[in-house]
Chain A
Amino acid sequence: MLLGLFKSLWRIGLLVFIALVVFVVLRLLPADPVGMMLPPGATEADRAELNRTLGLDRPMLVQFTIWLGKALHGDLGTSIASGLPVTERILHALPTTLQLVALGLLGGAILGVGAGLLAFRFRKTPIESGVQVANSLAISIPEFLWAILLILGVGIGLQWLPFLGPIDGAYSVQRITGFLLLDTLLVGDWAAFASVCAHLALPVLALSLGVAPPLMRIAHASLVDTYAEDYVAAARLRGLGENRILMRHALKNAALPTVAMLGLQAGSLIGGTLLIETIFGFPGIGSLMVQSLGVHDLFMIQGLALTYAVTVQIMNTLADAALYALNPRLRLQ
C-alpha cells in the first residue's frame, strides 16, 4: 500500500516537471501571440500594457509559479484566440476524447487478447502463423494510417459507415454529460444513439487496431510461458478439458503482462486520439490542440499539453492499480 502511495506521489512531481518543460518550450515560440491580440495601429505603449495585464513582463520562473498555482485551482488562463477561459473549453471538449480513449482501449484489448487467444488455442496450426504474420504487419501501421485506410475502404469504397463528425447533422442532442453516447441514452433518443454508434465505429476501430498488435504479441507469449508452469500440467493430469484450463487457470496469470502492456500503451493511445479526432472531425481536445497550434494560442496549448500529461498519468496509475489487484504477490511485498 505504501509503495503504491509513493508511486502516486512521484507522479505528481513528474507532472510539475512536465508543466515546467511545456512552459519553457512554449516561451521560445517564434510567433508573437500578443501581436495577434492587439488591434491594428496599436502603439508600443498598448503592447507593454497588454504584456503587463497578461503577466508576460515578469521573469519566467515567476510566471510559471503563478500559472501553476492558478492551474491547481483549475484556472488555466484565457484563450488568446477565443477569449474564453481555457479550462472551460478543455472541459467542454474532454468527454469526446475520453469516450474515444475508453472505447479504443476496450476495442484494442478485445481484439488483441482475442487474437492472442485464437493463435494460442490453435497453436502449431496455420491459424497461429496466420495471426502472427498479420500481427507483425499490423504492428507497423499506426492509428493515423488505419484511420485513412478505413475511410478509404469502409467509408468511401463500401459506403457502409459515416466518417465525418461525431453524429449526423440532423440530430441535435442536449448536452448533459458531454459524452454523446450517454447523453443520447439519457434523453432516450434511439435514432441519435444509433447515429453516434455508427459515427464512432471507424474512429474506435482505427484506435483499437493501433493498440491491438503489441497486446496480441504479449498475450500470446505469456500464455506460452504460463503453460510451461507445473499447475497447468497438474490441471491436465486431473483431467480438465483444454478450454477449461485456458479460461480458468492460464488466462488470469497470463493477464498480468498484458495489463502492464496496456498501461504502457496509454500514452500512444491518447496521442492517437489527437489525430483520430482531426481526421474524423471530432470536437475533442485533439482538434482543439490542432486549432490552437495553428493560431499559436499559447495558453490553450499549455493547458492542453498539461491535460494530455495528466490523462496519461491517470491511465498509468489505473494500470498500476489493476496490476496490484490482479497479482496477490505484489500486495505481499
Chain B
Amino acid sequence: MTSQTLITPDPALDSAMRPRGIPSTLGRVLREPRVWLGLIGILTLIVTAAFAPWLAPHGPNDQDLLHTLLPPMWAEGGTSDYPLGTDSLGQCILSRLIYSAQVVALVGLLAPLGAALVGVPMAILSGYIGGRVDWLIMRAVDIWMSFPAVVLALVLMVALSPGLTNVILAIIVVDWTRFCRVLRSEVMVLRRRNYIAAAQLTGATHLQVILRDIAPGLMPQLLTLLSIEMGVSIIAEAILSFVGVSMEPSIPTWGMMIADGLKSVFSAPWGLIAPVICMTVTVLACTLLGDGLRQTLDPRLLERVRG
C-alpha cells in the first residue's frame, strides 16, 4: 500500500463515527414497525415451508380429474375439500401454494447469502486494495451490468439444467454485483476514516483491519442489501419458473402456478390470483424489512435526522 498523507487521529470525532453499542441499536431496530411487518411476513413463509406436509390438505401433485377448475369454497360450486379450488389438472391450489413456499423459502434464504459470500469479499478487495485489483473487479461488474439480468439468468439456466441448486447458483452468479458495487463504495469511505489509520499505525495487519474495523462498519448496509436481495431472488426464481426453466415439473412454484393460471384465467381466475397475492405479499415483506433496517441502521441517515 502506498503511504498516505499523515492523518492525526481525532479520538473524539472517531468515537462519534464508530458504530454505537449493540443494545441501543437492536432496540432502535425492534421499535421500527416496518422491521416487524417484514419479519412476520418472512417468518410466516419459513413456517409454511417447514410444515407444508402438515398444513396442506392434499399432496402438491395429487390430481382429481373429476374436479378440475373448481372455484374456491366460498363461491358457488366450490367445496371445502379444495378451499381455493383446483387447477386444470384437478390439483388443489391451496396445497400447491403451500408446497411452493418450500422452494421460495430456500431460494430466498440461500441465494442472498451466496451472493453476499461472493460479493462482499470482492467489494473489500476492490475498495481496500484499490489500484489494478479494483479496476479488474469493476470491469467485471461492468460486463455483468451490460446484460439484462433476466437474459443472463435464462442463458445460465439452460446451460445448467433445471433444479434447486442450479437456480440458486444462477441467481448468485447474476446478482453478486449488487453487493460488490454498493459495499465497495462503503469500504472506500471507511478506509479513509481516522480509526482505520489509527489501527494501521498501531501495527494491525490488513486482515485484522478488515475483520475488526472495516467489516463491522459494513454490517448495516449488508443487512439491508440481504433483505432486498431476498425479494429480488424470490422474483428471479418466479420468473425462471414462469418461463419454465427453473425446477422439475413435479415441484410446484409460484412462478409455475402463475404460468398455469394465466392459461386458464377465464375459467378459474383463482389459480392466478392466489399465487400473485402470495408473491406480492412476500416481496413487499422483504422490501419493508430492508427499508426498516436502512432507516434504523444507516449511520448517515441517522446523522441527518439528528442534525
Least distance between B233 CB and chain A CB atoms (Å): 12
Q: Which stretch, B42-50, B56-64, B266-274, touches the partner chain A?
A: B266-274
Closest to B290 in A: A140
Q: What interface size band does chain A fall in? A: 35 or more
Least distance between A105 CB and chain B CB atoms (Å): 14
Question: Do A290 and B262 touch across chains, with their CB atoms under 8 A apart?
Answer: no
Q: Which stretch, A66-74, A114-122, A143-151, A225-233, touches the partner chain B?
A: A143-151
Contact with B along A118-154 (1 / 0, CB 8 A): 0000000000000000001101111011001101100
Q: Tell me whether B279 is interfacial, beta carbon within 8 Å.
A: yes
Query: Given A156-B265, A293-B243 in contact, is the A26-B143 Cβ separation under 8 Å?
Result: no
Closest to A24 in B: B159
Least distance between A31 CB and chain B CB atoms (Å): 8
Least distance between A40 CB and chain B CB atoms (Å): 24
Contact among B142, B242, B269, B284 for A275, CB-based, below 8 A? B242
> In the assembled complex, which residues on chain A have CB atoms less than 8 Å from the CB atom of B150?
271-272, 274-275
Question: Do B143 and A18 touch across chains, with their CB atoms under 8 A apart?
Answer: yes
Least distance between A141 CB and chain B CB atoms (Å): 7
Contact among A22, A29, A140, A148 for B231, CB-based, below 8 A? A140
> In the assembled complex, which residues on chain B have CB atoms less than 8 Å from the CB atom of A141?
280, 283-284
Within 8 A of B (CB), among A291-328: 293-294, 296, 301, 304-305, 308-309, 312-313, 316
> In the assembled complex, which residues on chain B have CB atoms less than 8 Å from the CB atom of A278?
242-243
Q: Tell me whether B95 is interfacial, beta carbon within 8 Å.
A: no
Question: Do B147 and A308 touch across chains, with their CB atoms under 8 A apart?
Answer: yes
Q: Tell me whether A21 is interfacial, beta carbon within 8 Å.
A: yes
Chain B: residues with Cβ within 8 Å of the partner, total of: 39
Query: Given A149-B276, A152-B272 in contact, is the A29-B149 Cβ separation under 8 Å?
Result: no
> In the assembled complex, which residues on chain B have CB atoms less than 8 Å from the CB atom of A279?
262
Report the number of A-B residue pairs with Cβ-Cβ less than 8 Å.
Answer: 114
Question: Do A312 and B269 touch across chains, with their CB atoms under 8 A apart?
Answer: no
> In the assembled complex, which residues on chain B have CB atoms less than 8 Å from the CB atom of A148?
258, 262, 272, 276
Q: Tell me whether B244 is interfacial, beta carbon within 8 Å.
A: yes
Question: Do B146 and A309 touch across chains, with their CB atoms under 8 A apart?
Answer: yes
Contact with B along A232-275 (1 / 0, CB 8 A): 00000000000000000000000000000000000110111011
A230 to B262 Cα, complex, angstroms: 55
> In the assembled complex, which residues on chain A have CB atoms less than 8 Å from the CB atom of B204?
none
Question: Do A26 and B258 touch across chains, with their CB atoms under 8 A apart?
Answer: no
Q: Tell me whether A170 is interfacial, beta carbon within 8 Å.
A: no
Query: Given A289-B151, A293-B158, A305-B155 in contact, is the A145-B235 Cβ separation under 8 Å?
Result: yes
Closest to B243 in A: A290
> In the assembled complex, which residues on chain A have CB atoms less than 8 Å from the CB atom of B235?
142, 144-145
Question: Do B154 and A293 touch across chains, with their CB atoms under 8 A apart?
Answer: yes
Contact with B along A1-27 (1 / 0, CB 8 A): 000000000010010011001100110
Q: Which of B142, B151, B156, B160 has most chain A Cβ within 10 Å?
A: B151
Question: Do B159 and A137 touch across chains, with their CB atoms under 8 A apart?
Answer: no
Q: Tell me whether B298 is interfacial, beta carbon within 8 Å.
A: no
Q: Tell me whether A28 is interfacial, beta carbon within 8 Å.
A: yes
Question: Do B242 and A268 touch across chains, with their CB atoms under 8 A apart?
Answer: no
A-B contact pairs, 24 of them (CB 8 A): A14-B142, A25-B155, A25-B156, A28-B159, A29-B158, A31-B158, A136-B291, A140-B284, A144-B242, A145-B279, A145-B283, A148-B258, A148-B262, A151-B262, A156-B266, A271-B148, A271-B151, A272-B150, A293-B243, A293-B245, A294-B244, A301-B158, A305-B147, A316-B146
Interface residues of A (CB under 8 A from B): 11, 14, 17-18, 21-22, 25-26, 28-31, 136-137, 139-142, 144-145, 148-149, 151-152, 156, 267-268, 270-272, 274-275, 278-279, 289-290, 293-294, 296, 301, 304-305, 308-309, 312-313, 316
Q: Which 6 A-B pairs rank lowest in CB-CB distance, beginning with the nearest?
A: A271-B148, A140-B287, A271-B150, A308-B151, A28-B159, A30-B161
* Interface contacts beyond A21-B143, A26-B159: sample of 5 additional A-B pairs, CB < 8 Å, sorted by A: A140-B287, A144-B235, A145-B235, A275-B242, A278-B242
